[in-house]
């Protein structure tokens, strides 16, 4: 027997990491059409270069398409964040106006909008101090969507995920997995710092909870794993020995050398600070207002 409620959902960015972890679960609840850089998508669209034409009206839009996980090296690369994350969002909304306004719009933003490298239990009330092109483009997209959804009477949910775990993750988790698998990863200062992490599958879990309510929410699990806990979990799944630990003072010496070497150095003082200091976000609001129960990352994270 199908569990679908027959609501029509448009999922943008469905061919990426998040899509591969979320799409099968969404299809259990919704009639899903996908918009992605993928010939198998319902709409094979490049948000940067293509116009978008939708062939029907949708009840819910999950807008996850965007640019992330890249450090821009040129003004042109910086501009791409705005072209895709902001202008691409505007394109999606323009297409929705032509095809029919949805009831609900869910936007995948990021905790990067807070601009914090360290901190504990940061809430949604924290000022938006992000300064990277990624953070600023997401902040501008949030602002645009708040105005557009208010004007068109659309229920808007802005989800700000922390680091996201799932099969074959990109970004920092992917780099940790690659480093441990190749024996080129070092644990620093016993890996005691903690980070907020979210199981990617929880994005699918939260959509039915938020589609009729809306709001702005951090989303992460309750465990705030330490680097050491993640290192052990990944090492075990890879069948590798846990990484060698180096004391903080050694890492600090290497970081100061890295400061002199410039951007190509594997570590510098700024990166070391991020590694040894905790960065966690409060999920109390989403649990209280939506009844969201997060999946425990350490018990459920399968890396491949």
Is 36:15 a contact under the CB 8 Å cutoff? Answer: yes
Predicted pLDDT of residue 221: 96
Predicted pLDDT of residue 1: 40
- Residue 300 predicted with pLDDT over 60: yes
Is 168:174 a contact under the CB 8 Å cutoff? Answer: yes
- Cα 127 to the chain's mean position, in Å? 19
Predicted pLDDT of residue 44: 95
Each residue of 196-221: pLDDT tens digit? 999 999 999 999 999 999 999 999 99
Of the pLDDT bands very low, low, confident and very high (cuts 50, 70, 90), residue 304 is confident
Helix (H), strand (E), coil (C) string for the chain: CCCCCCCEEEEECCCCHHHHHHHHHHCCCCEEEEEECCCCCCEECCCCCCCCCCCCCCCEEEECCCCCCCCCCCHHHHHHHHHHHHHHHHHHHHHHHHHCCCCEEEEECCHHHHCCCCEEEECCCCCCCCCCHHHHHHHHHHHHHHHHHHHHCCEEEEEEECEEECCCCCHHHHHHHHHHHHCCCEEEHHHCCEECEEECHHHHHHHHHHCCCCEEEEECCCCCCEHHHHHHHHHHHHCCCCCEEECHHHHHHHHHHHHHHCCCCCCCHHHHHHHHCCEEECCHHHHHHHCCCCCCHHHHCCCC
- Cα 148 to the chain's mean position, in Å? 22
Distance CA 18, CA 168 (A): 10
Of the pLDDT bands very low, low, confident and very high (cuts 50, 70, 90), residue 124 is very high
- Look over the chain and give the mean of its residue pLDDT values, rounded to a whole number: 93
Each residue of 70-85: pLDDT tens digit? 778 888 889 999 999 9
Greater confidence (254 vs 124) lies with 124
Predicted pLDDT of residue 71: 78
Each residue of 160-202: pLDDT tens digit? 999 999 999 988 899 899 999 999 888 998 889 999 999 999 9
- The residues near 71 (Cβ < 8 Å, ≥ 6 apart) are none
- Residue 3 predicted with pLDDT over 70: no
- Percentage of the chain modeled with pLDDT above 70: 99
With CA atoms as reference, report the closest residue to 294 among 205, 191, 234, 230.
Answer: 205
C-alpha distances (whole Å) from 63 to each of 1, 29, 88, 146 are: 28, 17, 10, 14
C-alpha distances (whole Å) from 28 to each of 1, 2, 23, 289 are: 11, 7, 9, 24
Each residue of 241-298: pLDDT tens digit? 999 999 999 989 988 998 888 877 778 888 788 888 999 999 999 999 999 999 999 9
Look up residue 200 and give its two tokens. Answer: 């990617």
What is the pTM assigned to this prediction?
0.93
C-alpha distances (whole Å) from 32 to each of 58, 211, 245, 302 are: 9, 15, 46, 25
Of the pLDDT bands very low, low, confident and very high (cuts 50, 70, 90), residue 129 is very high
Predicted pLDDT of residue 265: 74
- Residue 5 predicted with pLDDT over 80: no
Each residue of 224-241: pLDDT tens digit? 999 999 999 999 999 999
Is 43:56 a contact under the CB 8 Å cutoff? Answer: no
Backbone angles phi, psi at 165, to 5 degrees: -105, 145
- Residue 4 predicted with pLDDT over 50: yes
Predicted pLDDT of residue 155: 98
- Percentage of the chain modeled with pLDDT above 90: 81
């Amino acid at each position: 027997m199908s569990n679908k409620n027959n609501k029509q959902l448009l999922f943008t960015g469905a061919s990426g990491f998040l899509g591969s972890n979320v799409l099968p679960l969404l299809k259990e609840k919704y009639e899903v059409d996908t918009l992605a850089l993928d010939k198998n998508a319902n709409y094979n669209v490049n948000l940067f270069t293509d116009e978008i034409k939708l062939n029907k009206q949708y009840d819910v839009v999950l807008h996850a398409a965007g640019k992330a996980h890249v450090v821009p090296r040129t003004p042109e690369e910086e501009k791409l964040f705005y072209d895709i994350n902001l202008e691409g969002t505007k394109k999606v909304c323009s297409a929705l106006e032509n095809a029919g306004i949805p009831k609900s719009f869910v936007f995948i933003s990021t905790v990067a909008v807070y601009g914090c490298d360290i901190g504990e239990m940061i809430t949604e009330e924290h000022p938006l101090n992000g300064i990277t092109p990624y953070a600023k483009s997401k902040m501008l997209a949030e602002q645009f969507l708040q105005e557009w959804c208010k004007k068109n009477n659309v229920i808007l949910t802005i989800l700000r995920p922390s680091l996201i775990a799932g099969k074959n993750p990109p970004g920092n988790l992917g780099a940790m997995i690659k480093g441990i698998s190749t024996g080129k990863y070092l644990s620093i200062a016993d890996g005691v710092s903690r980070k907020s992490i979210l199981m990617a599958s929880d994005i699918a879990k939260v959509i039915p909870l938020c589609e009729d309510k809306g709001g702005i929410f951090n989303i992460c699990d309750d465990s705030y794993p330490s680097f050491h806990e993640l290192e052990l979990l990944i090492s075990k799944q890879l069948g590798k020995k846990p990484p060698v630990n180096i004391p903080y003072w050694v890492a600090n010496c290497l970081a100061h050398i890295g400061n002199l070497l410039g951007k190509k150095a594997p570590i510098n003082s700024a990166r070391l600070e991020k590694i040894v200091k905790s960065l966690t976000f409060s999920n109390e609001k989403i649990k209280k207002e939506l009844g969201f129960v997060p999946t425990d990352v350490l018990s459920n994270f399968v890396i491949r």
